[in-house]
Structures are given as structure tokens and as C-alpha cells.
């Protein structure tokens, strides 16, 4: 039997490994976003979406293999997979489109609103109890979102509103994943999402055309899918290895790569209002995560048998 100190040491090592996987995954997603921003000026969004999903299937199959092979793809909930995939495709489309006119950091900052939307919908949609403290954090977080969006000024772009819509759709997708996650693995959900997007984007290519990429661009387009799929592998593995309360807050570090890459490749930096809004949104998100983790621990202790 392992001693308590040995169990704590093992848990700490797993948390460190989980954190490392999370950071690597977020870095890879940052690289993918750079490639998308480079290519979106020359290729239609439906073509970018096709490469993201089709080449992303290659690392996804590794996820399927880790989950137990092709047998894990059996499902009795095809309609829910279809709805989740439709929501995911719509969100991806809005984000990819926004990269043509928006800075990486601004897009990333607005997408941090997704956990706020998720918390706001947790009560009416999932039947979860959302207390006054979390509601207050949501309200404060949306104030931060407004600072980033700058409504009433010429800085407000239609693309920014689209990204906010994508954040809402990502929250809806997370709700579908919570429901599907009771019977389906992350590999199954990701696989059907990718297949759906490939099929839809092929239809759109047939309808609206294909721009033949140069060899260098083809490599960059393929890397969008391969890097994005690999990043998803790392993020999935991070949550398998580490505790969610430890590794999930690291998601907010993705803004570091967005700011760094935006400055290195395009010379852009977020302005003071965006930074202020970003700090508010991240603080609200971290507080919500803290409250959810704390309440989850209380519930688990209640379920423990008496000693």
C-alpha cells in the first residue's frame, strides 16, 4: 500500500506533467493561429477549415487508438454528435474569418468570454446551481468583454462581434461535450467533429471553388491541421494527467503566445483598454474556476462514506 506521502508525490508529478502538456498544447495552438492568419488573406475560409479538419484527423486517430481503438467510435447518439459538430464548425468559421482583420491577441481575449457564457448557461441548460458569487463574476467578466470590444467606437469591428458569437458557440459546444461525455470519449467526440467538418467543407469547396495552393502554402495549410490536431492531443493528455483545478487555469496563458507572435510577425500589441478588459475577464474566469473547484470538492466530501 502506498504511503500518503508517496501518493502526494505521485499526484504532484502528474500535475507537473499535466501542466507541461497544457503549455505545449497552447503553444502549438498559437503556432496554428499564426499559420491561419498568414493564409486567410489568400485562401477562402472553407478551404482553411478543410485543411484544419482533414489533416487534424491524423493526430485524432492517435487519440482514438489511446481510447481503445475503432470500437470506441460506436455511438447511440448520432444526432447529438451532429449538433455538437454544427456548433463547432460555426465557431471555427467565425474565428478563422476574424483573423483576416483582427490581431491575434484581440481574438484570444474575446474568446476568453466562453467560460462566462458557460457559467451563465449552466443553470437553465444543465440544471446546475449558480450562486450569487459566480453570477457576480460573470457580470464583472462581461464588463471586461465590453472594454475589449469598445462598443460605440470606430474600433468595434463586425469581426469582433463574430468572435464574441464564436465564444458563445464554444460554450454551447462545451455543454454538448459535458452531455456526450457521460457515454462518449473525447476521442469519439473529436473524431465525429472532424469528419463532419471535412464533409461540409468539401461540399462548400464544390459550391464555391478551390484555390490551388503553391507547394509552400500547401505545406503551411497541412501544418494547420497537423499542429492543431497535435495540440488537441496535448490538451487532452494534460487533463488526463493533472487535476483540472491545477492545469485548467493555464489555458489563460495562451494570450502570452498571441501577444508575442502578434508582435513578432505583425508588430501589433493590444492597447490599454484591451489589456484592462483582458485582466478583468481572466480574473473573473479564474474566480469562477476556483468556486467550481471548491464546490466540487465539497460535493465529493459529502458523498464519502462515514469513517
Nearest to 208 by CA among 33, 44, 17: 44
Residue with cell 477549415: 49
Helix (H) / strand (E) element for 54: namely helix 45-67
Rounded Cα distance between 184 and 46, Å, is: 28
253 DSSP assignment: G
205 φ/ψ angles, rounded to the nearest 5 degrees: -65, -40
pLDDT at position 238 is 87
pLDDT at position 2 is 55
pLDDT at position 304 is 44
Contact by Cβ (8 Å): 110, 171? no
Contact by Cβ (8 Å): 48, 221? yes
Contact by Cβ (8 Å): 187, 72? yes
Nearest to 292 by CA among 284, 280, 281: 284
Residue with cell 460535493: 299
Residue with cell 479538419: 53
This prediction has a pTM of 0.88
| The C-alpha cell that represents 112 in the structure block | 476568453
pLDDT at position 91 is 96
Per-residue pLDDT of the chain (307 residues; tens, 9 = 90+): 456 666 666 677 888 898 999 999 999 999 999 999 999 999 999 999 999 999 999 999 988 888 888 888 988 899 999 999 999 999 999 999 999 999 999 999 999 999 899 888 877 776 767 778 888 888 999 999 988 887 766 556 889 999 999 999 999 998 888 888 888 888 889 999 999 999 999 999 999 999 999 999 999 999 999 999 999 889 888 878 887 777 888 899 999 999 999 999 999 999 999 999 999 999 998 988 887 777 665 555 555 444 4
pLDDT at position 290 is 80
Nearest to 50 by CA among 221, 295, 171: 221
Distances in Å between the alpha carbon of 64 and those of 86, 92, 259? Answer: 21, 22, 33
Amino acid at each position: 500500500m502506498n504511503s500518503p506521502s508517496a501518493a502526494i508525490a505521485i499526484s504532484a508529478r502528474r500535475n507537473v506533467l499535466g501542466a507541461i502538456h497544457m503549455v505545449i498544447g497552447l503553444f502549438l495552438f498559437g503556432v496554428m493561429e499564426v499559420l491561419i492568419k498568414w493564409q486567410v488573406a489568400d485562401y477562402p475560409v472553407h478551404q482553411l477549415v478543410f485543411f484544419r479538419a482533414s489533416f487534424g484527423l491524423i493526430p485524432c486517430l492517435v487519440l482514438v487508438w489511446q481510447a481503445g481503438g475503432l470500437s470506441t467510435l460506436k455511438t447511440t447518439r448520432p444526432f447529438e454528435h451532429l449538433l455538437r459538430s454544427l456548433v463547432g464548425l460555426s465557431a471555427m468559421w467565425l474565428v478563422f474569418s476574424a483573423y483576416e482583420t483582427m490581431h491575434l491577441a484581440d481574438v484570444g481575449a474575446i474568446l476568453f468570454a466562453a467560460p462566462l457564457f458557460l457559467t451563465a448557461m449552466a443553470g437553465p441548460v444543465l440544471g446546475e446551481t449558480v450562486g450569487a458569487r459566480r453570477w457576480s463574476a460573470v457580470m464583472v467578466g462581461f464588463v471586461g468583454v465590453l472594454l475589449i470590444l469598445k462598443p460605440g467606437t470606430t474600433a468595434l469591428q463586425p469581426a469582433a462581434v463574430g468572435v464574441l458569437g464564436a465564444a458563445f458557440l464554444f460554450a454551447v459546444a462545451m455543454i454538448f461535450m459535458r452531455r456526450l461525455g457521460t457515454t462518449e470519449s473525447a476521442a469519439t467526440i473529436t473524431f465525429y467533429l472532424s469528419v463532419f467538418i471535412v464533409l461540409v467543407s468539401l461540399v462548400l469547396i464544390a459550391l464555391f471553388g478551390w484555390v490551388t495552393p503553391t507547394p509552400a502554402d500547401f505545406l503551411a495549410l497541412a501544418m494547420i491541421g497537423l499542429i492543431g490536431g497535435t495540440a488537441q492531443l496535448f490538451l487532452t493528455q494534460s487533463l488526463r494527467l493533472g487535476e483540472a483545478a491545477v492545469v485548467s487555469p493555464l489555458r489563460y496563458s495562451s494570450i502570452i503566445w498571441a501577444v508575442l507572435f502578434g508582435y513578432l510577425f505583425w508588430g501589433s500589441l493590444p492597447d490599454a483598454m484591451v489589456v484592462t478588459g483582458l485582466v478583468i475577464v481572466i480574473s473573473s474566469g479564474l474566480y469562477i474556476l476556483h468556486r467550481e473547484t471548491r464546490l466540487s470538492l465539497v460535493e465529493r466530501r459529502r458523498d464519502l462514506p462515514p469513517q
